[in-house]
């Protein structure tokens, strides 16, 4: 079974490329001290705003910090934000979706109304509002992105659960008098998990993009931490003299989001064509 999936997955070159890229990024993040030639916060005021060279692969910033090293450490932030935010959204979305689809009735109406409300919200406005009024910072960013990105998944899981509820194995489990918790965890969850995985993978890309946007506006990671979005903001002021400060962090964000998007789409093809 796994072999079958794996075979199908590796045949999809784009998805496989995405997975490889992601593996490389993860490795870099874990081994950041080994990969990065300099300390990310190490300043060298004699080498400010140096263009890319052999000593500084991607140049240095206004404080003489090595851009490449800062980018490598930045992977950690982006991946953490992506996984934590999507983790929160996935738990909320799956739970509400199963509950809504399984119980139906008034519970379903209330949850679906909440989904409608969230889907009509210009989400970025809400995120901006909450972060600006709370303390700007990386933890708030993760939590708020997580708390605002569950509605799509809820709809998806609800639809799957609705079709499962009347299937024989669920009915049998009910007749056997199994507890609700057991029915949810053992009989429904495994059957809705593949769309959840796909949507989570694609969601990570979105979360990373949102975080970079917030950091760009100065609401995400606070200095001296180095998130890619915040590096872009800092680089923006030197755009006439040091293009590398604005170009490379953007490319880093692009490739990270791309790896998750390709992987997610590949997983969709792989898991979807099961039936």
User: Which residues contact other proteins by CB under 8 A?
Assistant: 14, 113-114, 116-117, 119-126, 128-130, 132-134, 205, 209, 212-213, 216-217, 229, 232, 236, 239-240, 243, 246-247, 249-250, 253-255, 257-258, 261-262, 265
Q: Which is nearer to other proteins, 166 or 240 (CB)?
A: 240
Q: Which is nearer to other proteins, 121 or 169 (CB)?
A: 121
Q: Which is nearer to other proteins, 29 or 219 (CB)?
A: 219
The minimum distance between CB 111 and other proteins, in angstroms, equals: 12
d(CA 149, CA 130): 14
Q: Which is nearer to other proteins, 196 or 231 (CB)?
A: 231
The minimum distance between CB 172 and other proteins, in angstroms, equals: 32
The minimum distance between CB 257 and other proteins, in angstroms, equals: 4
The minimum distance between CB 132 and other proteins, in angstroms, equals: 5
Q: Which is nearer to other proteins, 162 or 189 (CB)?
A: 162
The minimum distance between CB 63 and other proteins, in angstroms, equals: 21
């Amino acid at each position: 079974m796994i072999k079958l999936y794996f075979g199908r997955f590796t045949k999809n070159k784009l998805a496989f490329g995405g997975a490889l890229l992601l593996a490389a990024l993860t490795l870099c993040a874990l081994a950041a001290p080994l990969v990065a030639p300099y300390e990310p916060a190490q300043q060298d005021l004699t080498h400010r705003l140096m263009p890319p060279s052999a000593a500084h692969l991607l140049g240095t910033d206004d404080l003489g910090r090595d851009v490449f090293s800062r980018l490598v450490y930045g992977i950690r932030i982006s991946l953490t934000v992506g996984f934590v935010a999507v983790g929160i959204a996935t738990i909320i979305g799956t739970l509400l979706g199963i509950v809504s689809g399984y119980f139906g009735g008034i519970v379903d109406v209330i949850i679906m109304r909440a989904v409608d409300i969230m889907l009509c919200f210009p989400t970025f406005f809400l995120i901006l509002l909450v972060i600006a009024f709370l303390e700007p910072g990386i933890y708030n960013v993760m939590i708020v992105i997580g708390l605002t990105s569950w509605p799509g998944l809820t709809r998806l899981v609800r639809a799957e659960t609705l079709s499962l509820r009347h299937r024989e194995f669920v009915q049998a489990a009910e007749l056997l008098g199994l507890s609700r918790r057991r029915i949810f965890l053992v009989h429904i969850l495994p059957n809705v998990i593949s769309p959840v995985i796909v949507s989570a993978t694609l969601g990570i890309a979105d979360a990373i993009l949102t975080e970079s946007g917030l950091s760009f506006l100065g609401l995400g990671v606070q200095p001296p931490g180095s998130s890619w979005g915040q590096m872009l903001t800092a680089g923006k002021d030197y755009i006439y003299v040091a293009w590398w400060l604005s170009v490379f962090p953007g490319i880093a964000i692009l490739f990270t989001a791309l790896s998750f998007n390709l992987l997610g789409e590949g997983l969709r093809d792989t898991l979807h064509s099961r039936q």
